[in-house]
Amino acid sequence: MSFLIKNVTVVTLNSHREVIENGAVLIKKDRIEAVGDSSTLSAQCGDETEIINGHGQVVLPGFVSAHNHLGYAVFRGRAEDVGHAPTHRLYLPMSGVISNEERQVIGSLAVVELLRGGVTTVLEMEEDAELFAPFIEKSGIRALIGVMVNDLNLDALARGETVFDPAARELQLEKAVGLAQRWHGKSDHRIQAILAATGLSTSSPELLDSLRAFADELRLCISIHLGFGERDLVKRVHQAKQFEFARDHGVLGSDVVAVHCFEVDEAEIDILAETGTRLAHCPHMNQFRGEVAPVQRMREKGIQIGLGIDNYFSDYFEVLRSCLASARIHAHDPEVFSAYDALAFGTIDAARVLGLDDEIGSIEKGKKADLQMIDMATLGLTPVNDPVTTLVYHGHAKDVKTVFVDGNLVVREGVVQTADQADLIHRAGDAANNAWQKFRERHGAYAAPPPN
Ligand SMILES: [Zn+2]
């Protein structure tokens, strides 16, 4: 299938940060065949090409979310004000009551929300990530998927103790490697596998060493939450400094996506930089936890940074704004980063963090056709003046009209084409209600008591 998107403003995100007025993008099969002037490209395309007249619209590369937990959409409206220890008060208790079918339908809704809002690539890591793989494949989104492992003994955890359990370790590694063997490279490499761990305090050194060995053997990248409030716990559990421990057990490096890193000092930033570790920065989520990563300092040190949505949320434009706002508040400086920098963090830079910048992240000839179109003739986006600044500060997921992934038209006129959107909203709502009813019966409230 071929498409010509014409009469549009093309924000390319190429290395010259080129923006083409009256531009056009020619898509052939899964790739971008040409980018340029609208009348020139119109003359080039054949009769079999579907023409999309994008007058008044802006074309951007699809957003790349370098960190998500799709099934955690179930916590929307219940987790945001819970404060510390959501893992103990919500995530672990919920995993004891929610069914696989409920998790699947809620995760599917999260995928549809991402596509609808212009997110074309997602890194999904979760305890049972493979549950979501079939719908990810069907939906058309590009994804890196990994089982998020830990090897805690859960009975000991309930008593407030950290005890590592070799049997749990073996089981989790089997799940993680099994997902990779079944899904890596599927749908013409639109789906890739990763290896993932929850964090350092929930992993034994043996677990981390094994992840590294499998990553090398299977040539997969690793993603792990780091520097996210674990410093004291890591010291207690492993008698080690967190980033040194991570480095010594193979979970820092140029094939590692570290998530969060808001709890870092200067020496730790140096370790990240020296090892070439990449950062998934989740400012929208973290600001509500009262945290912000020192991304300006990290960028000065040469660390590759891309944005991630993380839990509950789905509007990537909010993440762009949170990135700017939190960095400026952190620095007390209104000139830290520009709208263009934020957009780059969310597209080409995030693609680089995932090792996919040769294929996606910008609108350039030869790259995969992963892009979104936004109608600017709408309330909130007029006058446009500068398309990048206006979209970054004023755009919303609901303003996205058209989305392509891998050359496939997955959103048309604001409606996802690869799933029944209305049916999914209905079924996911019911599934969440059921799950929360079971949660409340078991725990007496919509959050378990805080840990001692
Ligand atoms: Zn996370």
Same domain? 117 vs 197: yes
Distance 425 CA to ligand 1 centre (A): 24
Same domain? 85 vs 37: no
Distance 229 CA to ligand 1 centre (A): 13
Same domain? 268 vs 376: no
Q: Looking at residue 452, what is its pLDDT? A: 63
Distance 434 CA to ligand 1 centre (A): 24
Is the pTM higher than 0.85? yes
- Give how far Cα 35 sits from Cα of 47, 121, 346, Å: 19, 21, 21
Q: What is the pLDDT of residues 293-333, one digit of tens each?
A: 999 999 999 999 999 999 899 999 999 999 999 999 999 99
Task: Please indicate, yes or no, if residue 426 is contained in any of the structural domains.
Answer: no
Q: Looking at residue 426, what is its pLDDT? A: 98
Q: Looking at residue 155, what is its pLDDT? A: 84
CATH number at residue 409: 2.30.40.10
Distance 226 CA to ligand 1 centre (A): 10
Rounded Cα–Cα distance for residues 448 and 145 (Å): 29
Q: Looking at residue 80, what is its pLDDT? A: 93
Task: Please indicate, yes or no, if residue 89 is contained in any of the structural domains.
Answer: yes
Same domain? 148 vs 281: yes
Same domain? 33 vs 139: no
Same domain? 44 vs 92: no
- Phi then psi for 224, rounded to 5 degrees? -155, 140
Distance 285 CA to ligand 1 centre (A): 9
Distance 280 CA to ligand 1 centre (A): 10
Distance 91 CA to ligand 1 centre (A): 11
Q: Looking at residue 7, what is its pLDDT? A: 97
Q: Looking at residue 123, what is its pLDDT? A: 98
Q: Looking at residue 156, what is its pLDDT? A: 85
Same domain? 86 vs 6: no
Q: Which tokens hold the place of 389?
A: 């600044």
For the chain, which ranges sit under pLDDT 50?
A: none
Distance 259 CA to ligand 1 centre (A): 7
Distance 225 CA to ligand 1 centre (A): 6
Distance 339 CA to ligand 1 centre (A): 25
Range of the domain at 237: 63-353
Distance 54 CA to ligand 1 centre (A): 36
Task: Please indicate, yes or no, if residue 429 is contained in any of the structural domains.
Answer: no
CATH number at residue 241: 3.20.20.140
Same domain? 51 vs 71: no
Same domain? 214 vs 263: yes
**Structural domain count, the chain:** 2
Q: Is 303 left (phi over 0), alpha (psi -120 to 50) or beta?
A: beta
Same domain? 239 vs 387: no
Distance 203 CA to ligand 1 centre (A): 15
Distance 125 CA to ligand 1 centre (A): 8
Does residue 74 contact residue 374 with C-beta atoms inside 8 Å?
A: no
Distance 329 CA to ligand 1 centre (A): 23
Distance 69 CA to ligand 1 centre (A): 6
- Phi then psi for 44, rounded to 5 degrees? -85, -25
Task: Please indicate, yes or no, if residue 425 is contained in any of the structural domains.
Answer: no
Q: Looking at residue 47, what is its pLDDT? A: 81
